[in-house]
Amino acid sequence: MKTLSTTALFLAATLATATGLAAEPQPELEPFPARVNVQADSARTEQIADGEWVAVGIRKPESIRRDRTRPYEGRPSWRFELGRSDNTLSGYAPGETKGRAELSYCYATAADFADLTAQDYVDAQKMKTVYHHGKGICPQGSKWTYTFAVYIPSTLSPDVQTIFAQWHGMPDRTLVTAPDGQVRRLSVAEFVAMQDTVVIKKDTAYERVAGRDKRGKEVWKAGKPTGWKVEQGGYPPLAFGFSGGWFYIKANSDRRWFTDKSDRCNANPEKAGVLKPVTSEFKSSTIAYRLPFGDFPKDRWVRFTVEVDWTRYGGAAQSVEAPGRLDVRMAWDDREEHIVDNAQVLIGRNDEEGYYFKYGIYRVGGSSEPVCYNLAGYTQQPR
């Protein structure tokens, strides 16, 4: 029996490709079902999209899809969609709900723990700091340029309340408040020891009470609060979204070392003046730009170029060491507008690690209005 030479095999493969026989056609809308808890788990190869993203949020097939019908710069974009019943998270206020379907640019893989011990990874899972070891982090006080593009269809309701791009803080749960009210930084060993004796829900540690789940399996349930609080974070330091009939850009700042979750300092896009901060003792919230929803360009790609000088904070001193800066350009078709012009603004959190980017749908305020749009073209570069 004769065998084909390497050259013949190459020519056969080239011919198959040219005639469309090399591979099955790819679907125009391809669901991306994998989800990763970036705080508590590392990402496997099959959970990474385009070599740079992992998905978070609701797992419905239509929630996050690679879209070949609406390419951006020759590549498929990402289509995000939430229906009326897709809010799966509790909101900031009692009775409120939130819905999420996002891609996170920050995550860790097994390779990021290659030089550490197996116990280091287990401890990072307990502290929910696995992603602190990964890619995509922008340190506090650093300077970056970001770009991304959004495609808003004319069918999107002006009543939506959604964040489509946000930079998130990276809290460290070893920062705690003791029952006497003193803020302390625990060692890894101290935090793990506490974690193994309590049930932590959000920012509160509760006594462990033996119980059973719905399947009859023995589990630990939350009893009385112990008086200990753990750092959980707060509002995103920078967000692009729609609310109350407006497109808005909001910059938030929190110089408090341990976040006060009861301080709801958060500028309302409908009411706050542009570049007029809403403030509390430690926090600042600024609407950097807003535009009526009806004036936002629809049915076309809108590209943002964002320059951020992240505010530098003083850690336990709870001070602002250097103010921040925000510059935003918005371009579509053959137009470009300089919508935020080198504004000095407080922007960031008093977290040691810094920030990371996510885009998609983060539906807030108890809204159940259906949301669907596309995003693409993300880059980040230090300046």
* β pairing state of 198-201 and 183-185: unpaired
**In 3D, which of 158, 147, 154 has the Cα closest to residue 269?**
158
Q: Is 126 helix (H, G, I), strand (E, B) or coil?
A: helix
* Residue 299: DSSP 8-state: S
Question: pTM of the prediction?
Answer: 0.92
Q: Which two tokens stand for residue 46?
A: 């099959």
Cα separations in angstroms, 264 against 90, 191, 237, 277, 356: 16, 28, 14, 14, 22
Residue 15 is predicted with a pLDDT of 41
Distance of alpha carbon 116 from alpha carbon 45, whole angstroms: 20
**By three-state DSSP, how is residue 191 classified?**
helix
Residue whose structure tokens are 């579509």 = 332
Per-residue model confidence (pLDDT) at position 94: 77
Cα–Cα distance for residue pair 362/358, rounded to 1 Å: 10
> How confident is the model at residue 12, as a pLDDT?
42
Closest CA to 65 of 28, 27, 29: 29
| CA nearest neighbour of 283 among 271, 297, 266 | 266
The tens digit of pLDDT for each residue in 61-120 reads: 999 999 999 999 999 999 999 999 999 998 877 788 999 999 999 999 999 999 999 999
Give residue limits of the domains in the chain: 30-172+232-382, 175-230
Q: Would you state the pLDDT for residue 24? A: 72
For residue 63, give both structure tokens: 């929630």
pLDDT at 358: 98
If 0-12 CB within 10 Å is exposed, 13-18 middle and 19+ buried, where does residue 351 land? buried
Interatomic CA distance for residues 44 and 108, integer angstroms: 9
In the prediction, which pLDDT does 4 show? 40
> Who contacts 110 (Cβ-Cβ below 8 Å, separation ≥6)?
42, 44
pLDDT, residue 23, reads 62
Crossing angle for the helix pair 188-195 and 118-127, nearest 10 degrees? 60
Which residues in the chain show pLDDT less than 70? 1-23
Amino acid 22: pLDDT: 56
Q: Which residues pair with 332 in a beta bridge?
A: 335
256 CB neighbour count, 10 Å cutoff: 17
The rounded distance, in Å, linking the Cα atoms of 189 and 172 is 14
- pLDDT at site 8: 42
Domain 175-230 bears CATH identifier 3.40.50.1820: no
Closest CA to 246 of 271, 264, 228, 222: 271
Rounded CA-CA distance 152/90 in Å is 26
Amino acid at 139: P
Contacts of 111 (CB under 8 A, 6+ apart): none
**How far is the C-alpha of 311 from the C-alpha of 172, rounded, in Å?**
18
Q: What are the φ/ψ torsions at residue 237 (nearest 5 degrees)?
A: -60, -25
CB count within 10 Å of CB 74 equals 5
How many angstroms from the chain centroid is the CA of residue 129? 15
> What class does CATH assign to 30-172+232-382?
mainly beta
Rounded to whole angstroms, the Cα distance separating 133 from 117 reads: 13
Structure confidence at residue 5 (pLDDT): 41
Sign of CA dihedral 304, 309, 311, 314: positive
Residues in the chain: 383
**What digits encode the pLDDT tens for the residues 141-175?**
999 999 999 999 999 999 999 999 999 999 999 99
